[in-house]
Amino acid sequence: MVDRANKPKTLSSTPSLPPQASVTFSEDNSRVTAELPTGESVEVLLYGATVLSWKDAAGDEKLWLSEAAKLDGSRAVRGGIPVVFPVFGTAPDHPQTKSLPQHGFARTSRWEFLGKSTSESMVGRAANELTVKLDFGLSSAAPGLDPTAAASWPFKFNLIYSVTLNRESLTTSIVATNDGAAPFDCQVLMHTYLRVKDITTVEITGLANAPYHDKVDAANPSKTQPASGPLTISAETDRVYTPVEDAVTVTEGGKPKFRVTRDNLSNVVVWNPWTEKAQGIADFAPKDGFRQMLCVEPGAVGAWQSVEGGDAFEGAQTITLLD
């Protein structure tokens, strides 16, 4: 065989794409799990579009979920990140939402999974990070809508809820669009249960000088957080803050643990049921679990958000790991 003088060199292999996130469904299609190639993961229950789990690369859980939480669609999930819409708590004096159950119907409806986006398909900064975004939808015409909602809140709406995971943070965002002609009022909140090791060693900063409504002290509900010193938890706490700063930092044992940043959400609810209240909550388990959890809940609940026909309300939180 004669050698060819201009024999072509061996073709180099086509560069492979970097590893991307994987998205899987549970066998019964009730949950969606996304995992980055580096090990970080998030799990979302379609019932309520509730984030059930968020783990770092080492597999350490960052959210608290009650051991007695109902995950079968029979009631709202106790723990994780439930979505509150269109009312926070109950509002018996508000004409549009007075008939709705506590915290509305978003957390008790089955959402539709709309798809995923990964860093491969994203632009800008996200394209250079390991990122996965899961989108969920709920509308006034959706088959999974809580049946009480249509009768109690007869507005045409469309909700898009996105859960974005990267190596150091988790972002949850919502867009609530009014698809009808009549304006509606709404409140939005991300009811985030953060997992801590010992609530007695936790300090919360970023609330200095913030006015707040104390839901535990009915006789003196209107207060202001002192300018100096962090907030600590040593009893039942249920407060609706209107912070001056955009971010709240949770420190445990003197070490920064979480930073919760808000986008177009003017309020932060800080909640821990403590001993007596936890005993009275049927799906709160273990009963001393309040020692391992802290709710820091960004929301727009201090006032009603009026959404005109064709307009939308948008809000988001980003929880960044600091330890």
Q: Which residues are catalytic?
A: 191, 297
CA distances 43 to 23, 32, 82, 102, 169, Å, are: 10, 6, 13, 25, 14
Question: What's the CA gap between 188 and 174, in Å, rounded?
Answer: 9
Question: What's the CA gap between 43 and 34, in Å, rounded?
Answer: 7
Q: Phi, psi (5° rounding) for residue 178?
A: -90, 110
Q: Is 167 annotated as a binding residue?
A: no
Residue 150's H or E segment, with its range, is: helix 147-152
Residue in the block written with tokens 């109950």: 90
Using the 8-state DSSP alphabet, how is residue 273 labeled? Answer: -
Question: What's the CA gap between 268 and 246, in Å, rounded?
Answer: 10
Retrieve residue 282's tokens. Answer: 């049927």
Q: Is 262 annotated as a binding residue?
A: no
DSSP string, 269-292: EEEE-HHHHHHT-TT--STTGGGG
Q: Per the annotation, where are the binding residues for substrate?
A: 78, 102, 107
